Amino acid sequence: MTAHISALDLEEAGAVLAAESARFAAFGWMRGTSGNLSVVLTRDPLRLAVTASGHDKGELKPADVVLVDGKGAAVHGGRPSAEAELHARVAALTGAGAVVHVHTVASVAMGHRHPGGIVFKDVEMLKGVGQPAHDVEVTLPVIANSQDMKVLGDRLEAAREPRMPAVVVAGHGLYVWGDTPRQARHHTEVVEWLLELELTRR
């Protein structure tokens, strides 16, 4: 495979991503074959396991992942998600160990309503992304969509709010990250909860 990553390493990462994908699919956040997840396997050189393209995310098997490099290009396995390049960009930019991309109604609706960013304040759930529950405003950035992952990555880098481990891509969905797949999952659930709250308030 590579000098640092064995077939067993990739299979173990695939098992983790399959379990996480099944959880998100059960919430209705990865309908059809939409969405993708990744986990960093090595940092130098940057290598990620990314869910393979075209698979039902509620039915993934440990083998349904692709090893990609720091540009999102396949190193081993089948065809990665078209957005693998953005996963690699987020991992390099933020130091994240895992990235989640889901297509939720709340993220698309709120991104449409607030193209300049979605502000959260005085909500206890902000603690779930490491922020105070009161007296601090935290903005979830919203960026315009693009089919060019280099362009999209540049927009994400320019808009990123270091206190918020997430960004909304307008008309598309939500990208969230964390140090581990478990933390990325928790961040995703918290940010989606915040979005759903703001959506119901209006």
Q: What confidence tens digit (pLDDT) does each residue in 166-193 have?
A: 999 999 999 999 999 999 999 999 999 9
pLDDT tens for each residue of 64-107: 999 999 999 999 878 888 899 999 999 999 999 999 999 999 99
Q: Where are the domains of the chain?
A: 7-201
Q: Decide: 98 and 40 in contact? Cβ < 8 Å.
A: yes
Residue 95 per-residue DSSP state: -
Q: Which pair of tokens denotes residue 165?
A: 């481990």
pLDDT tens for each residue of 142-157: 999 999 999 999 999 9
- Terminal CA-to-CA distance of the chain, rounded, Å? 51
Q: What CATH class has 7-201? A: alpha beta
Neighbouring CB atoms inside 10 A of 137's CB total: 11
Instruction: Give this prediction's pTM.
Output: 0.95
